[in-house]
């Protein structure tokens, strides 16, 4: 090997750099463990401790020192599936942005386009493009630059009525990007103040989506509310209760004609007090007892001051429906026709006898206007702090700017003179509605007090300081992983890695002898380089990422196997050891096959990285890095030791006494039995297609949308019974399947998956708890069941949500990823082999493999003891199978090309058969190594990736078969007669 000294220099340098990069991870982990010990597993105390030492020096190299903040920025971060925490993807509502830019236009064409865009938006299509399509389809003579759409005061100077639609579209695209950027800044500010270590927030391309990862975060409902709250603070004048009691009475009477009376007796309800105030006691008492008061029967009690009435939180939707009816709003007096009915923040009370919780809410009537714009908004807030009011209760104090202070003084002055109230509402929820007793308030300082706890005031002050989002942020995808589940994943990943590593090392030594030791040394160096690069890139290590590392163990020895097998061939032909090694490392030896095989790996890995998200990108990243590091170590590191043996005249045979004749002397007629292989594969394809039609595939929530919960019970449960009970609770089908042990279920529901909002997420969580709480002891609360915490053993260990919009994108991306992988690999083979028949043979084999794996999943997903879902992990497995199937095929094709270009005698089919037989040792050895590694991962890798590994395991087995029995026969059958005659003429036939 030329430039041996240079290779050694770079290898040592690279190793030192890797050790340097990894040292930060070791130091950071030590500091975090110290923090856990100090905090006694108290998460908040742990975060405070780490924050307090952020600028302290914790690592010294002698010539320079590093603070903890610097160290943690350089470490390998663990993903949520290993660390535990919460991950959400927010979709900024482009519809809201457009409505705001149009100044809430009432133009019918514009509003129809907004609705059509939501209905017709295709997978992977942005809402803005869908809106443009919908507008163009219905616009007629209407222009985007119409004065009643976008040529308004809001966009003065940027859009005028003379502009074409194409010109306006460019401005709107820019404005939408600005809104997403603004939302990104607001969310970053909120998250930075939340108090978790190493939060991650990133924009996802040009999709308008924002990814937020909070490792170690545990309060699910609180975090979802924090990140999705628009934080639109408004100050409204309110009507007094007595001003609208007449309207409520008229509304109740009008509803009697259309609303069916409740069957159960209503006389026991507290609402009787209101009925008695508004009706004749003797005349109407019978009606009240029969529950014939549609509106009043929903009231718990009468309000007072700014509070109209008090109702149970579960009845608010019904009351809202009544009050929004057109015929009911028509009963409002003319001077109150714009009244805006808004609920306050709920109050939970506990019955001391039954211990049953009841949540009630207050109803307010705000003095609205035609444009539904508050007299004063939160945009005037320049500072907000969590504090305590005069009663010692948690509150939020706010400071306004000059313009806000003047408006605030006018509002409070009017409230003082009229003895009225001012409601302070955040996202259409009234937090307080104080009166003004001491005259107008100057200076712009105000305070929000109410039914808060300390955590809520901290969050509220946080979002007010950060500012409001420019549009609603909908949670389209989320994942919650408990820390105990993360530790299980780490243990499973570590076990599979160690066992896989040891078995691969033992196999290499067993099969290749001393040369196997050299391959193992290269493997160790490869792992050092791999982790060093991951650390230097600031990569996030996930459970699929660990799977990628374990797979790298297989690919790392793949190049060594190809080189060693070639060296054995050269030695059998009588060459000396130096000449055999030189030939095997040459371009005409093993290098061409190694490069071709790894290029196909890189192409499929790159596509996986481009189209994948989250953990799948982690898998692709690890796989891609592993390809390059394994190439370097296999080709150069092992060569150093081999060359040293040659220099010292040591015998090196690349075999052991037991294995020297393994996989040799094959003369099997692969082409001769092609009819049988075609028949077998055709039957498999037909059976698979029939199964697709009748059984379909078990599409996971990634593809169809939905919510999934991994729930641990105190003792084994019957999944069918749980499914029936939850289906009754949700009012729709809920699936429950055993996940691992029979005291753990994977529960899936599509309940309200097309509806967005934190309230919907909380409703689903509450229904799940209510449906399952009978399986737990009396000490199990909703918070314990849903939230994550250290040492959690039962309840929800992991939860994920995929919205309908993002599932369509994932499905589209997956489809194009598989097609794209086959196309680019096929194109590369055409370029490399310069004959389209090679590419066609490889593509036919890969297509066969994909259908085979899909068929297995379609046939057996109902019966398998583990989950066989079609999700992102499955697509990652399919793409990986494509890469490995191509690998085997390329090895065979390279030998065919070599033999056809050489002087080997025989018919065309004889030359092809000889090519397959001569590479059989490589094919079987590389495949067996990969199968061994995958089996270890399947057994020890953990339940969450078992289906993912099974797909790859089946794919590798089928890929090995197809490269021998499908790809090569297709190549032979598609060669034209002229080319075959020319080949046989050159080879002496």
Lowest-confidence region among 178-187, 249-258, 486-495, 894-903: 486-495
Q: If you average pLDDT over residues 496-500, what whole number do you get? A: 76
SS3 call for 75: coil
- Residue 537 — pLDDT band, cuts 50, 70, 90? confident
Q: How far out from the chain centre does Cα 450 lie?
A: 37
The pLDDT assigned to 194 comes to 56
Q: Which two tokens stand for residue 463?
A: 């979002």
Q: What's this model's pTM, rounded to 2 decimal places? A: 0.65
- Residue 288 — pLDDT band, cuts 50, 70, 90? very low
> What are the tens digits of pLDDT across the range 919-977?
787 778 778 877 887 888 787 766 667 777 888 888 888 888 888 888 888 888 888 77
- The CA distance from 712 to 730, in Å, is 20
The pLDDT assigned to 147 comes to 87
Q: If you average pLDDT over residues 728-751, what whole number do you get? A: 83
Mean pLDDT over all residues of the chain? 79
The pLDDT assigned to 275 comes to 42
Question: What torsion, rounded to 10 degrees, do the Cα atoms 350, 353, 354, 356 define?
Answer: 0
Q: How far out from the chain centre does Cα 944 lie?
A: 15
> What are the tens digits of pLDDT across the range 877-906?
787 777 777 777 877 887 787 777 766 666
- The CA distance from 146 to 132, in Å, is 15
Under a CB-based contact definition with an 8 Å cutoff, are residues 84 and 481 in contact?
A: yes
> What are the tens digits of pLDDT across the range 235-244?
888 998 888 9
Under a CB-based contact definition with an 8 Å cutoff, are residues 929 and 554 in contact?
A: yes
> What are the tens digits of pLDDT across the range 67-81?
888 887 787 777 766
- The CA distance from 427 to 459, in Å, is 14
SS3 call for 105: coil
Which helix (DSSP H) or strand (DSSP E) does residue 407 occupy? helix 402-418
Sign of CA dihedral 82, 184, 194, 472: negative
Neighbouring C-beta atoms of residue 224, cutoff 10 Å: 23
The pLDDT assigned to 280 comes to 41
Share of the chain above pLDDT 70, in %: 85
Q: If you average pLDDT over residues 165-181, what whole number do you get? A: 85
Query: Which residue carries 């109702």 as its tokens?
Result: 311
- Residue 790 — pLDDT band, cuts 50, 70, 90? low
- Residue 484 — pLDDT band, cuts 50, 70, 90? low
The most confident of 324-328, 608-612, 624-628, by mean pLDDT: 324-328
Q: How far out from the chain centre does Cα 894 lie?
A: 40
pLDDT at position 600 over 50: yes
Lowest-confidence region among 396-400, 418-422, 588-592: 588-592
Under a CB-based contact definition with an 8 Å cutoff, are residues 291 and 284 in contact?
A: no
pLDDT at position 57 over 70: yes
- The CA distance from 745 to 715, in Å, is 11
The DSSP secondary structure of 816-828, one letter per residue, reads HHHHHHHHHHHHH
Lowest-confidence region among 262-276, 295-309, 812-826, 949-963: 262-276
Under a CB-based contact definition with an 8 Å cutoff, are residues 76 and 28 in contact?
A: no
pLDDT at position 274 over 50: no
The pLDDT assigned to 687 comes to 92
How far CA 73 is from CA of 28, 54, 526, 559, in Å, comes to 9, 11, 24, 35
């Amino acid at each position: 090997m030329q430039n041996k000294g240079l290779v050694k220099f770079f290898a040592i340098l690279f190793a030192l750099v890797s050790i340097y990069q990894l040292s930060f991870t070791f130091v950071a982990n030590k500091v975090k463990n110290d923090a856990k010990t100090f905090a006694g597993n108290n998460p908040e105390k742990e975060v405070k401790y780490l924050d307090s030492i952020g600028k302290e020096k914790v690592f010294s190299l002698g010539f320079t020192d590093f603070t903890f903040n610097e160290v943690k920025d350089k470490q390998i971060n663990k993903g949520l599936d290993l660390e535990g925490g919460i991950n959400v993807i927010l979709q900024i509502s482009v519809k809201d942005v457009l409505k705001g830019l149009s100044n809430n236009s009432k133009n019918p064409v514009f509003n129809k386009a907004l609705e059509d865009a939501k209905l017709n938006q295709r997978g992977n299509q942005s809402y803005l493009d869908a809106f443009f399509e919908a507008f163009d389809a219905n616009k007629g003579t209407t222009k985007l630059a119409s004065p009643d759409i976008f040529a308004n005061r809001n966009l003065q100077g940027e859009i005028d009525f003379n502009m074409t639609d194409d010109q306006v579209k460019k401005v709107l695209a820019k404005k939408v990007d600005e809104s997403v950027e603004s939302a990104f800044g607001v969310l970053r500010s909120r998250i930075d103040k939340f108090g978790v270590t190493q939060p991650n927030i990133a924009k996802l391309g040009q999709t308008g989506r924002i990814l937020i990862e909070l490792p170690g975060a545990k309060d699910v409902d609180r975090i979802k509310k924090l990140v999705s709250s628009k934080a639109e603070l408004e100050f409204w004048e309110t009507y007094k209760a007595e001003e609208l009691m007449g309207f409520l009475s008229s509304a109740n009477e009008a509803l009697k004609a259309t609303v069916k009376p409740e069957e159960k007796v209503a006389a026991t309800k507290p609402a009787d007090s209101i009925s008695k105030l508004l009706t004749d006691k003797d005349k109407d008492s019978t009606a009240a007892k029969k529950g014939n008061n549609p509106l009043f029967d929903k009231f718990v009690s009468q309000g007072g001051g700014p509070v109209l009435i008090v109702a149970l939180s579960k009845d608010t939707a019904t009351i809202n429906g009544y009050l929004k009816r057109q015929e009911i709003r028509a009963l409002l007096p003319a001077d109150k026709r714009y009244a805006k009915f808004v609920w306050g923040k709920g109050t939970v009370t506990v019955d001391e006898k039954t211990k049953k919780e009841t949540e009630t809410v207050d109803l307010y009537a705000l003095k609205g206007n035609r444009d539904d714009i508050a007299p004063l908004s939160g945009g005037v807030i320049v500072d907000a702090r969590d504090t305590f009011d005069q009663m010692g209760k948690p509150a939020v104090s706010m400071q306004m700017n000059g313009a806000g202070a003047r408006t605030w003084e006018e509002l409070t002055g009017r409230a003082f003179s009229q003895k009225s109230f001012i409601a302070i509402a955040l996202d259409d929820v009234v937090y307080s509605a104080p009166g003004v007793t001491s005259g107008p308030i100057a200076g712009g300082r105000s305070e929000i007090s109410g039914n808060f706890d300390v955590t809520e005031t901290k969050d509220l002050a946080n979002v007010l300081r950060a500012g409001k989002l420019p549009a609603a942020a909908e949670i389209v995808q989320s994942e919650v992983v408990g820390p105990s589940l993360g530790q299980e994943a780490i243990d499973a990943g570590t076990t599979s890695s160690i066992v896989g590593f040891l078995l691969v090392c033992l196999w290499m030594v067993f099969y290749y002898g001393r040369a196997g030791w050299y391959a193992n040394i290269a493997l160790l160096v490869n792992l050092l380089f791999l982790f060093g690069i991951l650390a230097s890139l600031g990569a996030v290590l996930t459970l699929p990422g660990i799977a990628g590392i374990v797979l790298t163990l297989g690919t790392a020895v793949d190049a060594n196997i190809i080189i060693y097998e070639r060296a054995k061939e050269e030695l059998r032909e009588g060459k000396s050891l130096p000449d055999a090694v030189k030939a095997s490392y040459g371009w005409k030896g093993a290098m061409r096959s190694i490069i071709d095989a790894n290029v196909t790996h890189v192409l499929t890995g790159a596509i996986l990285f481009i189209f994948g998200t989250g953990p799948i990108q982690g898998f692709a990243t690890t796989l891609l890095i592993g390809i390059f590091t394994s190439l370097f170590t296999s080709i150069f590191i092992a060569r150093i030791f081999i060359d040293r043996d040659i220099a010292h005249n040591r015998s090196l045979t690349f075999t052991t006494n037991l294995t020297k004749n393994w996989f040799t002397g094959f003369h099997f007629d692969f082409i001769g039995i092609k009819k049988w292989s075609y028949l077998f594969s055709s039957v498999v394809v037909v059976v698979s297609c029939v199964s697709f039609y009748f059984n379909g595939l078990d599409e996971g929530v990634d593809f169809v949308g939905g919510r999934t919960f991994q729930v641990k019970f105190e003792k084994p449960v019957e999944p069918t019974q749980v499914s029936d009970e939850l289906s009754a609770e949700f009012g729709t089908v809920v699936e429950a399947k055993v996940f691992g042990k029979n005291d753990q279920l994977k529960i899936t529901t599509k309940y309200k998956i097309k509806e967005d909002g934190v309230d919907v997420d909380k409703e689903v969580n509450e229904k799940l708890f209510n449906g399952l709480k009978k399986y737990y002891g009396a000490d199990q609360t909703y918070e314990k069941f849903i939230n994550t915490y250290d040492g959690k053993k039962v309840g929800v260990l992991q939860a994920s949500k995929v919205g309908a919009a993002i599932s369509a994108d994932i499905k589209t991306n997956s489809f194009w990823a598989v097609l794209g992988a086959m196309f680019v690999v096929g194109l590369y083979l055409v370029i490399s082999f310069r004959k389209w028949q090679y590419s066609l043979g490889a593509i036919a084999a890969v297509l066969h493999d994909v259908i085979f794996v899909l068929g297995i999943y379609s046939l057996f997903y109902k019966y398998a003891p583990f989950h066989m879902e079609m999700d992102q992990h499955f697509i990652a497995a399919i793409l990986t199978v494509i890469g490995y199937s191509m690998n085997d095929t390329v090895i065979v094709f390279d030998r065919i090309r070599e033999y056809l270009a050489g002087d080997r005698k025989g018919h065309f089919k004889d030359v092809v058969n000889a090519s397959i037989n001569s590479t059989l040792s490589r094919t079987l050895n590389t495949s067996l190594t990969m199968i061994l590694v995958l089996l270890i991962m399947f057994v020890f890798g953990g339940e969450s990736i078992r289906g993912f590994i099974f797909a790859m395991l089946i794919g590798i087995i089928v890929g090995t078969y197809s490269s021998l029995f499908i790809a090569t026969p297709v190549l032979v059958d598609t060669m034209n007669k002229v080319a075959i005659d020319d080949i046989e003429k050159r080879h002496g036939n």
